[in-house]
Amino acid sequence: MEGVDYLADERKKAEFDVNEMKIVWAGSRHNFELSDRISKLVANDPGFSKEGRTMLPRKELFKNTLRKATYAWKRIIELRLSEEEAAKLRHFVDEPAFTDLHWGMFIPAIKGQGTDEQQKKWLPLAYKMQIIGCYAQTELGHGSNVQGLETTATFDPQTDEFVIHSPTLTSSKWWPGGLGKVSTHAVVYARLITNGKDYGINGFIVQLRSLEDHKPLPGVTVGDIGLKFGNGAYNTMDNGVLRFDHVRIPRDQMLMRVSQVTREGKYVQSDVPRQLLYGTMVYVRQTIVSDASNALSRAVCIATRYSAVRRQFGSQNGGQEIQVIDYKTQQNRLFPLLASAYAFRFVGEWLKWLYTDVTQRLQANDFSTLPEAHACTAGLKSLTTTATADGIEECRKLCGGHGYLCSSGLPELFAVYVPACTYEGDNTVLLLQVARFLMKTVSQLGSGKKPVGTIAYMGRIEHLMQCRSDVKQAKDWLKPSAVVEAFEARAARMSVACAQNLSKFDNPEEGFAELAADLAEAAVAHCQLIVVSKFIEKLQQDIPGEGVKQQLEVLCGIYYLFLLHKHQGDFLGTGYITSKQASLANDQLRALYSQLRPNAISLVDAFNYTDHFLDSILGRYDGNVYPKLYEAAWKDPLNQSDIADGFHEYIRPLLKQQLRTARL
Ligand SMILES: CCCCCCCC(=O)SCCNC(=O)CCNC(=O)[C@H](O)C(C)(C)COP(=O)(O)OP(=O)(O)OC[C@H]1O[C@@H](n2cnc3c(N)ncnc32)[C@H](O)[C@@H]1OP(=O)(O)O
Ligand SMILES: Cc1cc2nc3c(=O)[nH]c(=O)nc-3n(C[C@H](O)[C@H](O)[C@H](O)COP(=O)(O)OP(=O)(O)OC[C@H]3O[C@@H](n4cnc5c(N)ncnc54)[C@H](O)[C@@H]3O)c2cc1C
């Protein structure tokens, strides 16, 4: 029946002000109003319909994406949306497209690595979409090892040009989004060679296609790399392959903020660190952390609503069966994911602040916080995307069989999300970057250099190496100081153990390679400490709204106690807690699940997702799941006729043959 809210009873149970929680989730009243307005604008516009997306063949799917992206641009212009509003609109259209790379990487690369003059020339064209750009770094043979890229940019002093060339098959650019079919330009990363010397990787703006007929320019070979995982999903994106055969570009198309090549071909290094060349990656990693909470909360919203609708077992005297959300095992799988979504939201907010701070410092030539910004963005990108990808898959399983249907929204969400574990830095490779940062920090402990920011705790290393938890009863685990010290002691002890083991090797690089698995675990412990600390710090702020802070305290408790339970081995092995204290933590965790249960539906309502954005029958706001699933099945192309194509060709002769055999 239309108009009935099947989750109304659940909503009545809420013990907090949901509208105020919506503002906390959005980050501010301004953000809430913006998201609310733009998400409804998109949801109510048939031009952005998602109907049948997973059933379209690739060519049609891609064409439809081009239509949508262009329509989005048209609406942005017509409605005179600000940059902030336009970004929100693209977000709620919810379809990976070339525009993600144009706005998300091409423009930031020019902003971060271009000189003022270069920005003045290229940015207006890009902002008006008179040129469309992508970020062409990865090659067929190398992605993680950026220094190993093979494309060359050789300076020709005769003509004042760079010659861009792909010397081998493995040097073909491979993967860049938006490259295959749409981009007219790319920021290409290539080895700069001048006066016969190789100066390593630098960025160059290269035109790939004619602005007249969109044909590849002479010397450029470009195309799509082929179908990717999942129906619909990331196949809306034209990830591309690109080869250069001695393509010439003017010298001033080298991005020259970090280093320059003079008219005479002299290479000049600015006084900014070379690592700024990696700046676009730092920026995007930070945005990926914020996005993790979007993807995870979306999956959790679907699984939570469906878990309240779905009933299995336990009916007595013809009464209703039990809602699956009331099974403790379901809660133990679902509620930590709900808590993680909130945790990632707050750490994402904090990381955005850190990034803004480091950007302002860089502009003032203060590079001191760059290593920490790199470690935080790399580590948190790795931690949050791994947990989110695993979490989406867990949500699918939490929805039983129906979760496997595309109409649940979960398979496509997973297929779109899972490459986040790989792109913008493979998650293991990024953890090893954090580990290097930690080992450097430990090695400098005696030097008088005081660790600051997220590694300030290392400054109390002597205490952290010997302290013991003073938890005596389950509720002691609710004390923030007890929790922070536990996570600090675990992270510090794992880092110090790695450093001690490393010191046994004559060659530190060999040691690092040998101990890489332990080092990655130490990096995870450090990153989890950051997330836990930032959640706890958030709770120390003034949070208005009846019951809102209490709910966040429950979520925070679930987040860290679940981690403590899952990584018990670390906490016990490093000797900070006893097995009795671990067991008390688990008792407290169960108690928190019971406190969360009546608020579960309202906590996912606080994400304020429209049904259009969720695109899930199981996650519908009104919980009207079964009639809609039934209806959707009949819309499948297979059900357009009673007799399937191919029946007369294949099945009928088979049946006839069986019939003949039976008669014999
Ligand atoms: C819009 C959203 C859609 C997203 C689409 C996805 C787009 C993409 O995927 S684009 C391609 C992304 N590619 C990657 O992320 C590649 C991952 N690899 C790397 O980042 C690097 O090669 C990396 C960091 C692994 C190794 O760097 P490399 O220079 O070879 O060696 P390394 O010795 O480890 O680092 C040198 C120094 O630079 C520092 N450093 C490394 N990266 C950075 C960085 N990003 N920022 C600041 N410093 C850095 C290191 O800490 C080290 O410092 P120190 O010398 O003080 O110890
Ligand atoms: C959907 C998608 C979109 C992308 N978009 C873009 C784009 O727009 N532009 C662009 O330039 N690139 C893009 N990429 C490429 C992406 O950035 C790379 O795939 C990524 O950086 C990982 O590099 P790789 O593929 O070389 O992995 P590899 O490094 O080959 O990884 C393979 C395995 O080796 C392991 N490994 C590698 N090095 C080490 C090490 N030192 N120690 C321990 N283990 C190691 C990894 O953990 C992994 O398990 C995209 C990729 C995908 C999947």
Largest Cα–Cα separation, the chain: 95
pLDDT-derived band at 1 (thresholds 50, 70, 90) equals very low
Nearest to 254 by CA among 200, 293, 209, 294: 200
Mean predicted confidence (pLDDT) in 202-210: 98
661 vs 154: CA distance, rounded Å: 75
Tell me what percent of the chain is helix, strand and coil, each rounded to the nearest 5. 60, 10, 30
Instruction: List pLDDT tens digits, range 144-156.
Output: 999 999 999 999 9
Q: Tokens for 279?
A: 């700046």
260 vs 252: CA distance, rounded Å: 9
What's this model's pTM, rounded to 2 decimal places? 0.97
Q: What is the DSSP string of 88-138?
A: HHHHHH----HHHHIIIIIHHHHHHHS-HHHHHHHHHHHHTTSS-EEEE--
**379 pLDDT exceeds 50?**
yes
Instruction: List pLDDT tens digits, range 392-406.
Output: 999 999 999 999 999
Nearest to 281 by CA among 366, 206, 392, 378: 378
- On average, the pLDDT of the chain sits at 96
Nearest to 415 by CA among 233, 237, 292: 233
Instruction: List pLDDT tens digits, range 224-268.
Output: 999 999 988 999 999 999 999 999 999 999 999 999 999 999 999
Per DSSP, 453 falls in state: G
> Which amino acid is present at 304?
T
Ligand 2 pocket mutation, candidates 175, 238, 287, criterion most atoms within 8 A of CB: 175
Convert 631-658 into a string of H (helix), E (strand) and C (coil).
HHHCCCHHHHCCCCCCHHHHHHHHHHHH
C-alpha dist (Å) from residue 62 to 182, 434, 505, 653: 11, 38, 53, 38
pLDDT-derived band at 2 (thresholds 50, 70, 90) equals low
11 vs 646: CA distance, rounded Å: 49
Q: Tokens for 648?
A: 């007369």
Instruction: List pLDDT tens digits, range 114-147.
Output: 999 999 999 999 999 999 999 999 999 999 999 9
**663 pLDDT exceeds 80?**
no
433 in ligand 1 pocket by Cβ < 6 Å?
Answer: yes
244 vs 222: CA distance, rounded Å: 9
Coil, helix or strand for 24? Answer: helix
Instruction: List pLDDT tens digits, range 81-106.
Output: 999 999 999 999 999 999 999 999 99
620 in ligand 1 pocket by Cβ < 6 Å?
Answer: no
Q: What is the DSSP string of 588-609?
A: HHHHHHHHHGGGHHHHHHTT--
Q: Tokens for 510?
A: 């060999």
CB 401 within 8 A of CB 422: no
Cα 419 to averaged position of ligand 2 atoms, centre (Å): 10
131 vs 255: CA distance, rounded Å: 17
Q: Phi and psi at residue 334, in whole multiples of 5°?
A: -90, -45
101 Cα nearest atom in ligand 2? 8
pLDDT value for 3: 77
Ligand 2 pocket mutation, candidates 138, 173, 431, criterion most atoms within 8 A of CB: 138
71 vs 76: CA distance, rounded Å: 9
375 Cα nearest atom in ligand 1? 51
> Which amino acid is present at 338?
L
Nearest to 607 by CA among 415, 347, 342: 342
What are the residue numbers of the active site?
Answer: 424
300 vs 306: CA distance, rounded Å: 10
pLDDT value for 316: 80
138 in ligand 1 pocket by Cβ < 6 Å?
Answer: yes
Cα 429 to averaged position of ligand 2 atoms, centre (Å): 9
**176 pLDDT exceeds 60?**
yes
Is the model more confident about 311 or about 54?
311
Convert 508-528 into a string of H (helix), E (strand) and C (coil).
HHHHHHHCHHHHHHHHHHHHH
Cα 278 to averaged position of ligand 1 atoms, centre (Å): 6
pLDDT value for 664: 67
Q: Phi and psi at residue 211, in whole multiples of 5°?
A: -80, -10
Cα 223 to averaged position of ligand 2 atoms, centre (Å): 20
Pocket of ligand 2 (CB under 6 A): 101, 135-138, 142-144, 175-177, 234, 239, 419, 422-426, 428-429, 432, 516
Cα 224 to averaged position of ligand 2 atoms, centre (Å): 18
Task: Report which bound ligand comes closest to the CA of 428.
Answer: 2
Instruction: List pLDDT tens digits, range 296-339.
Output: 999 999 999 999 999 999 988 788 999 999 999 999 999 999 99
C-alpha dist (Å) from residue 11 to 304, 339, 355: 12, 19, 38
Nearest to 305 by CA among 170, 455, 409, 451: 409
- Helix (H) / strand (E) containing 18: helix 18-26
Task: Report which bound ligand comes closest to the CA of 416.
Answer: 2
- Helix (H) / strand (E) containing 250: strand 247-250
Instruction: List pLDDT tens digits, range 484-500.
Output: 999 999 999 999 999 99
